[in-house]
Amino acid sequence: MLTRQERSPIVPEEETTTKYEIVVNEDWCKGCGFCYTFCPREVLEKSTTFNSKGYYPPEATNIDRCVGCGLCEAICPDFAIHVEEKKTKTTTKRGRK
């Protein structure tokens, strides 16, 4: 026999998944390379195209690996890169735990 608690109804559960987005202000970037060198997750790469001043800005070629640590944002001398958090809520039906 199941106890009362074990027989509790199946309720939909809300799950939050956090994704990150890297925003680069290409016009302000001076191509120092700090962000893509020191990112601990190898999310960023030097872009293959240059900006109006001839500097190569970063590109988030591996965004799925980003953990939102914010190092790129903190280390940039030119305020040219920052990370944004995108939270999405998904409702899933879960069985008993």
Residues that bind ligand SF4 (CB under 6 A): 20, 22, 24, 29-35, 39, 41, 43-44, 57-58, 66-72, 76, 78, 80-81, 83
Listed ranges 12-20, 57-65, 75-83, 89-97: which one lies at the site for another protein (CB under 8 A): 75-83
CB of 21 to ligand SF4, least distance (A): 10
Residue choice 27, 40, 50, 96 for contact with another protein (CB under 8 A)? 27
CB of 47 to another protein, least distance (A): 15
Separation of alpha carbons 61 and 65, rounded Å: 9
What are the residues whose beta carbons fall under 8 Å from the beta carbon of 52, sequence distance 6 or more?
Answer: 27
Residues touching another protein, count (CB under 8 A): 24
DSSP sequence for 35-74: HHHH-TT--EEE-SS--TTS---EEETTGGG-----HHHH
CB neighbours of residue 90 within 10 Å: 9
Q: What is the chain's Cα-based Rg?
A: 21
Binding residues for another protein, rule: CB under 8 A, are: 23, 25, 27-28, 30-34, 37-38, 55, 70-71, 73-80, 82, 84
